[in-house]
Amino acid sequence: MKFTCNRHKLSDAVSNVQRAVAPKTVKPILEGILIKAENGTITLTGYNTEMCMQTTMDARIEKEGSSVITAKLFSEIIRKMPEDSITIEVDEKNIVYITSGKSNYKITGMPAEDYPELPVIRSRDIIKMDAQILSSMIRQTIYAISENDAKPAYTGSLFEIEEGNMRIVSVDGIRLAIRTEKIDYDGEKSFIVPGRSLQEVLRLITPDTETAEIATAGRHIIFRMGEYSLISKLLETEFISYRSAIPTTHTTELTVNTRKFISTVERMSLLLTDKMKSPIRCYIDENLITTTCNTMYGQGRDEIEVEMQGESVEIGFNNRYLLDALKNSDTDEVKIYLSGSVKPMVIKPTEGDSFLFILVPMRLAR
């Protein structure tokens, strides 16, 4: 195999695909990137048995072929090379020659035949949608995915497609986030995508990416975005009955300026650290939210004006969880619904139902 291509584009591609490579494994070949050169393009593949990432790019190919190159070393060499152009050559013994300008390396590759078989998805049942909308849907819900493996369903997001709508739902036991958009698709299906895979989808969707395609087959899902494809295993578990967790009544309704509320919570958060369990207290009365925080570092107090209907209430929240919900609202104002000091807070847009966030409060010491 021998090809020449733009070094910067190759470096970007290797850096992206490398994220799907197993960092440490009993199978050294899984620590490598599979490179295939054929038909005027090179295809780079990273695979860790749970997730597969693939991309193609143009190259001037002198000899077709394939090889596996250790990802970390390959990435660092390409990044440090001096010229815009780079040439990769692999001989019959899988010795890899890397040349750029007057710099060159000779490293050991691995046979492409030893690379594990990749999952294949040939489904014609494809969901096509605006890539930027998909990105915003994932971003606004991924914060509520659990990092604890105790409940596998909590480590991914539920995709529900029905009646021309796609809904993404994430939950971790304290928070619930739902984002809904209309899509051009008539079918019905649901599946759970691991959070780590969704993080990579977010990274691969750039501001220039226009369209995203999603297809499922058996235990796998594929996302196609621009020049990249990501195949992931689905989580084979039952998602919780999240609809029963959504409050249907409330005793207090607020219309809040999102930016102002974020700012006041951030000011109170200056007295907190990750190890502290002290809540941000919110006392809501007479069209005001008065926030206070009391820790070993001191005391803070702030207030903002709101539009209020219903009963006064005092309620406490984890500052980081409250900020996550507010920052992902993506609207100038939000509606907040409360039912006393111990029942969950509901956050919605002032118009429509594109998102719904739920946050369980912390009990306040009296």
Residue at 265 is within a domain? yes
Residue at 200 is within a domain? yes
Q: Which of 65, 90, 114 is the last residue of a domain?
A: 114
pLDDT: is 146 or 275 the higher one? 146
Residue at 102 is within a domain? yes
Q: Are 24 and 70 members of one domain?
A: yes
Would the pLDDT of 155 be above 80?
Answer: yes
CA distances to 13, 35, 66, 203, 252 from 48, in Å: 17, 15, 19, 18, 49
Would the pLDDT of 93 be above 80?
Answer: yes
Tokens of 150: 């105790």
Q: Are 108 and 86 members of one domain?
A: yes
Q: Are 349 and 261 members of one domain?
A: yes
The CATH number of the domain holding residue 209 is 3.10.150.10
Mean pLDDT computed over every residue of the chain: 95
Q: Which of 196, 224, 243 is the last residue of a domain?
A: 243
Confidence of residue 365 (pLDDT cuts 50, 70, 90): confident
Number of domains in the chain: 3
Q: DSSP of 141-167, one letter per residue?
A: HHTTS-S-TTSGGGGEEEEEEETTEEE
Q: Determine the average pLDDT of the residues in 320-327.
A: 97
What is the pLDDT at residue 23?
81
| Range 143-151, long-range pairs (CB < 8 A, 24+ positions) | 143/170, 143/175, 143/177, 143/324, 143/325, 143/328, 144/170, 144/171, 144/172, 144/175, 144/176, 144/177, 144/324, 144/357, 145/170, 145/172, 145/195, 145/198, 146/171, 146/172, 146/173, 147/172, 148/172
Would the pLDDT of 263 be above 80?
Answer: yes
Lowest mean pLDDT segment, chosen from 138-142, 146-150, 250-254, 298-302: 146-150
Q: Which of 243, 278, 308 is the last residue of a domain?
A: 243
Q: Are 99 and 146 members of one domain?
A: no
Run of H or E residues at 199: helix 195-204
Reduced to 3 states (helix: H, G, I; strand: E, B; else coil), residue 174 is coil
Confidence of residue 148 (pLDDT cuts 50, 70, 90): confident
Q: Are 234 and 280 members of one domain?
A: no
Residue at 366 is within a domain? no
Would the pLDDT of 22 be above 90?
Answer: no
Residue at 365 is within a domain? no
Count other Cβ atoms within 10 Å, centred on residue 217: 16
Residue at 120 is within a domain? no
Name the residue range of residue 196's domain.
126-243
